[in-house]
Amino acid sequence: MIVRRLALLAALLPLLAGGCVAKTAFDVVTFPVKAGSKAVDWTTTSQSEADRNRGRADRKREERAAKERRKAEKHCRQHPEDCSGAEPRY
């Protein structure tokens, strides 16, 4: 009787676990593709990232230009003879 139950259980086990084995096999097969696409994503810059970085660089450049302009204006207020009608030096 016990042998019969074990045989029945052994026969049904692959059917019951078949979905799990198929899912694992699918995951193993698709893993290299997923890993490769993730690596490409990490190494490339998207258009939105490029735009964001360009905007950040533009803002920093504008901030530096404004700081130099304020510095030149302050210098011209303190030493007007250096800036007599000429374009302020940055």
Is 55 inside any structural domain? yes
Is 86 inside any structural domain? no
Is 75 inside any structural domain? yes
Return the SS3 of 25: helix
pLDDT band at 61 (very low <50, low <70, confident <90, very high): very high
- Give percent above pLDDT 70 in the chain: 79
Domain of residue 39: give its range: 1-44
Domain count, the chain: 2
In this predicted structure, the answer to whether residue 82 has a pLDDT above a threshold of 80 is yes
In this predicted structure, the answer to whether residue 12 has a pLDDT above a threshold of 90 is no
Is 61 inside any structural domain? yes
pLDDT band at 14 (very low <50, low <70, confident <90, very high): low
pLDDT tens-place string over residues 33-50: 888 888 888 888 888 888
Q: Angle 78-83-87 (CA atoms, 0-180°, nearest 5)?
A: 135
Domain identity same for 35 and 53: no
Give the integer Cα–Cα distance in Å for 31 and 27.
Answer: 6
Reading the block at residue 31, the tokens are 């893993």
Is 32 inside any structural domain? yes
